[in-house]
Amino acid sequence: MARKKVDINSLDHIFSRMVETLDHSKNDIFIISEQNRQSLLQMQQELEDVHSKLAEVLINGDLLEEETRLSRKRLGDVSKHFNTFSEQQVREAYEHANDLQIKLSINRTEDRQLLERKVDLERRLKDINDAILHADQLVTQANVVTNYLTSDLKNVGQALETAKLKQDFSLKIIEAQEEERKRLSREIHDGPAQMMANVLVRSDLIERTYREKGVDQALVEITSLKLMVRTALTEVRRIIYDLRPMALDDLGLVPTLKKYLMTIEEYNIGCQIHFRSYGEERRLLSNFEVAIFRLIQESVTNATKHGKCQSIWVEVKWCTSMVTITVKDDGVGFDQQLVRESSFGLLGMQERVDLLEGEMIVQSSLGNGTVMSFLIPLID
């Protein structure tokens, strides 16, 4: 039986329509996700207001209960010695006790309503968070399919010959790319994006504080706002360095490291970073320079974030056939038996070193700091 010829143009048209549909769906999911994020911010603000009102109602309730107790005692005295009080005094005692009882009842009703509102807001916040997470997962899945259709099946005639091998290999690459994009997206959302959203909220608060509490209190809020913006800027710079330091291609490894370490020291007050390079520096292949930079970056990040150190020493030694990197800190150290197997950071560094056919040595113990050593052979 003759094999029916595949119509490549028809397949390309079908793939194009599929990609277009997926892109529209992805955009719709993104719009829904952004709407949910806006609702999330509004509900978080509303929940803070409810907490404030609830605290105020509880304080007023305690005061009303005490006043009600005293009014009842007063009413009891009036009832026992009825003849010694005037008609006006008796009426005022009864009216005062009744008025306090009504206020207390209203206070308890308001307290119950605020508690119900608090529980409802917390439940809705959880639901919205779950919806945002689900939307992110859907977008990731759509990206995997879209990239696969547009990249791996672009030349569908040739792809049909080795479809199974190409699919397995490509999906692994695309999934890794999408996981990295998802991680970066989450970092931006939870870091700078969230901080900038808070800046907008705080700017409104400053205006209200200025009107209600005056200049001094507004200046306090402005100081807090400046700190928040500075923190957001730090996060943005860190993310840029995580993506790829732009100076690496232009200046090379050592100048880029100097600039990076100066930036890290600037934003980690109380921690001094000492850098030295020995031997004749030279340019390496791009993938080697990036890998070495990442190894030092991960080691310094661990020292500042987890090591709680006051000093870090970074040394790069250039030899004829090898470059040796040492990152040492005076921090709290860690138990290698407990940490090494569960640390994705250490596993990632080991994988980088293995790809470069090098060697990684970790020296650390509780209370004695950490020394990370990397021996990387050079290729001429």
Among residues 275, 374, 370, the alpha carbon closest in space to that of 329 is found at 370
**Model confidence pLDDT, tens digit, residues 39-86:** 888 888 888 888 888 888 888 888 888 888 888 887 777 777 767 777
Q: How far, CA to CA in Å, does 40 sit from each of 21, 43, 45, 64, 245? A: 28, 5, 9, 35, 34
Residue 109 has pLDDT above 80, yes or no: yes
Q: What residues form DSSP beta bridges with 328?
A: 313, 371
User: Three-state SS for 303?
Assistant: helix
User: What pLDDT shows up at residue 173?
Assistant: 47
Whole-number mean pLDDT of the chain?
78
Q: Tens of pLDDT along 318-340?
A: 998 999 999 999 999 888 777 65
Torsion, CA 32, CA 37, CA 42, CA 43, rounded to 10: 90
Q: What is the pLDDT of residue 257?
A: 92
CATH of span 9-235: 1.10.287
337: its two tokens: 């038996």
Which residues, 6+ apart, have CB-to-CB distance to 229 below 8 Å? 195, 199
Residue 365 has pLDDT above 60, yes or no: yes
- Two structure tokens written together for 207: 């205006």
Q: For residues 132-140, give the mean pLDDT.
A: 75
Are the CB atoms for 316 and 324 separated by under 8 Å?
Answer: yes
Tokens of 173: 């690459």
Residue 3 has pLDDT above 60, yes or no: no
- With the CA atoms of 374, 375, 376 and 380 taken in that order, what torsion angle do they form, in degrees rounded to the nearest 10? 150
- CATH fold of the domain at 249-377: Heat Shock Protein 90 (3.30.565)
Q: Do domains 9-235 and 249-377 have the same CATH topology?
A: no
pLDDT given for residue 300 in this prediction: 92
- Chain centroid offset of residue 40 CA: 15
With a cut of 50, say whether residue 162 has pLDDT above it. no
Residue from 289, 364, 379, 372 nearest 334 by CA: 364
Query: The tokens of 205 are what?
Result: 């608060």
Tokens (6 digits) for 49: 């207001």
Length of the chain: 380
pLDDT at res. 165: 45
Distance between CA atoms of residues 316 and 58, nearest Å: 62
Amino acid at 254: V
> What confidence tens digit (pLDDT) does each residue in 252-285 have?
899 989 988 998 888 888 899 999 999 988 888 8
Can you read off the two tokens belonging to residue 137? 């997962």
CA distance 80 to 76: 6
pLDDT band at 287 (very low <50, low <70, confident <90, very high): confident
377 phi and psi, to 5 degrees?
-70, 145
CA separation for the pair 197, 221 (Å, rounded): 16
Q: Using an 8 Å Cβ cutoff, are 140 and 174 in contact?
A: no
CB 322 within 8 A of CB 376: yes
Q: Please state the rounded mean pLDDT for residues 311-324.
A: 94
Neighbours of 112 (CB within 10 A): 11
pLDDT bin (cut points 50, 70, 90) of residue 5 is very low
Alpha carbon distance 309, 87 (integer Å): 78
What are the residue ranges spanned by the domains of the chain?
Answer: 9-235, 249-377
Phi-psi region of 312 (alpha: psi -120 to 50; beta: other; left: phi over 0): beta
Q: Would you say 182 and 140 are in contact if contact means Cβ atoms under 8 Å apart?
A: yes
Query: What local confidence, expressed as pLDDT, does residue 299 receive?
Result: 93
pLDDT above 70 for 113: yes
Q: What is the pLDDT, as a whole number, of residue 372?
A: 95
Q: In this predicted structure, what is the pLDDT of residue 340? A: 57
Rounded to 5 degrees, what angle do the CA atoms 223, 45, 122 make?
135
Considering only residues 217 and 155, tell me which one the structure prediction assigns the higher pLDDT. Answer: 217
Q: What are the φ and ψ backbone dihedral angles of 284, each rounded to 5 degrees?
A: -115, 175
Q: Alpha helix (H) ranges present in 148-191?
A: 156-159, 163-188
Taking the chain, what is the end-to-end CA distance rounded to the nearest angstrom? 57
Instruction: With cut-offs at 50, 70 and 90, classify the pLDDT of residue 241.
Output: low
Confidence (pTM): 0.44
